Structure 1
Amino acid sequence: MSNPYQLYLVTDENQSVETLVNVVKAAVAGGVTMVQVREKHGDIRSFIDRAAAVKKALKGTSVPLIINDRVDVALAVDADGVHLGQSDMPVITARELLGRDKLLGLSIENEQQLEQAESLPIDYIGLSAIFATPTKTDTVRHWGLNGLAWALQRSSYPVVAIGGINQSNITGVSRTGVHGIALVSAICHADDPEQAARQIKNQLVS
């Protein structure tokens, strides 16, 4: 796969395991290229159970499984990588635990973090948030399309855009040349996640 970040699904922690697995299978059938399991409220055991269920659903698809925040969960299920926030485990420590062959992403919320990321052993950055979004209320800033274009010029890493992206604005986001677009609600809450993923994929500017 030339660009694993292109259509990046972030799961909804409020969905049951059964719904989660069905959404992931449908989304991948529709063209999703990477899946991140996010679990903000649950205990560690339920996180591992959910991650393992998604890993099983992804078997044979070549779609990478990324775990949000938790290096221990990623190691427990042998996921393909971890995505860290600014208040999670330090990147250097995470890289030591994961080894070189796992993907490591880092959320970037301002210009200073973007600059600091250049010297870190990561594989990609998640630029947050592009637009206002109901799923994330503690956002430091909204980058907008101009901010996204600015960050793309300054980062030597692939950039995944996240936050408030939906079918009404996705073409504009894609036109910036961003490497990937991360979505939660637009796919997880769609009546038909496969069709939603397919329609979104068709809107991306290659």
Structure 2
Amino acid sequence: MHRPNPIDFSLYLISSMQALPQGRDLLQAIEQALQGGVDAVQLRDKNLPTSERLALAKELRTLTRRYRARLLINGSVDIALAAEADGVHLGTASLPIAEARSLLGPKRLIGYSAHGLEELSLVAEQGADFATFSPVFFTPSKAAYGSPQGLEQLTRACNTSPMPVFALGGINLSRIPDVRQAGVQGIAVISAILASSEPLRAARTLKTALTEN
């Protein structure tokens, strides 16, 4: 399938207020992460009221434009359009990909959270532009999705998927060489950056590990 939207990022930060150290502001942490090399941000925080989530999306749009980074909204086409985001990130409980595409048009991105090889293949056929594949390693936030996929499954995912794959779940600095060897487009992280007392430094270290030869 021809994909009109090339994926031009490798360090994908997923927002989570719960991951922040006590007293830290989400927007401040994300701006520091952008300064450190994050080149795409997903607004998750799905429990926020819609009005607060839209306001946060608009503030993130301003930040991501300043740093020439992508912004995707988890699950909400309406907020993505209202905030002029680059696209959405969908999952099993979201709109079908075809319906999201009809609302977003051809130029915005559609990412998808895949938790197995069959699901990854299916959403590629349906027109997703890229997918996260998780959990690669154990992480509490993904425990509900079953046992970790492991590096062998991640490698199969990257080798068989016609779209770019991002490793998600328990990714930290020490695991980047292994996931790079599996063939990923990049990594998606939450706590590896947002739980750090120094988000800029954490992001910079991860980005260096992703891009060094």
> What TM-score, normalized by structure 2, do the two folds share?
0.89
Which 4+ stretches in 1 moved above 4 angstroms?
none
* Separation in 1, partners of 2:174, 2:183: 17
Which residue of structure 2 lines up, in the alignment, with residue 74 of structure 1? 80
* Separation in 1, partners of 2:9, 2:149: 19
The structure, 1 or 2, with the larger RCO (C-alpha pairs under 8 Å, 6+ apart) is: 2
Cα shift at 1:171: 2.1
**Structure with greater proportional helix content:** 2
Cα shift at 1:144: 0.9
Whether 1:12 and 2:22 are equivalent positions in the alignment is no
Which residue of structure 1 lines up, in the alignment, with residue 35 of structure 2? 29
Identity of aligned residues (%): 36
Cα shift at 1:3: 5.4
Q: Which runs of 5+ in 1 are unaligned?
A: none
Cα shift at 1:19: 1.3
* Separation in 2, partners of 1:136, 1:90: 22
* Separation in 2, partners of 1:3, 1:112: 22
Structure 1 counterpart SS, 2:193:
helix
* Separation in 2, partners of 1:58, 1:112: 33
> What TM-score, normalized by structure 1, do the two folds share?
0.92
Structure 2 counterpart SS, 1:187:
helix
Which residue of structure 2 lines up, in the alignment, with residue 39 of structure 1? 45
* Separation in 1, partners of 2:101, 2:7: 22
Which residue of structure 1 lines up, in the alignment, with residue 55 of structure 2? 49
Q: Which runs of 5+ in 2 are unaligned?
A: 1-5
Structure 1 counterpart SS, 2:17:
coil
Q: CA RMSD in A?
A: 1.8
Written as runs of structure 1 = structure 2, the 5 A alignment for 1:1-206 is 4-14=8-18, 19-204=25-210, 206=213
Q: Say whether the 8 Å CA contact 2:159–2:183 is kept in structure 1.
A: no
- Equivalent residue pairs, number: 204
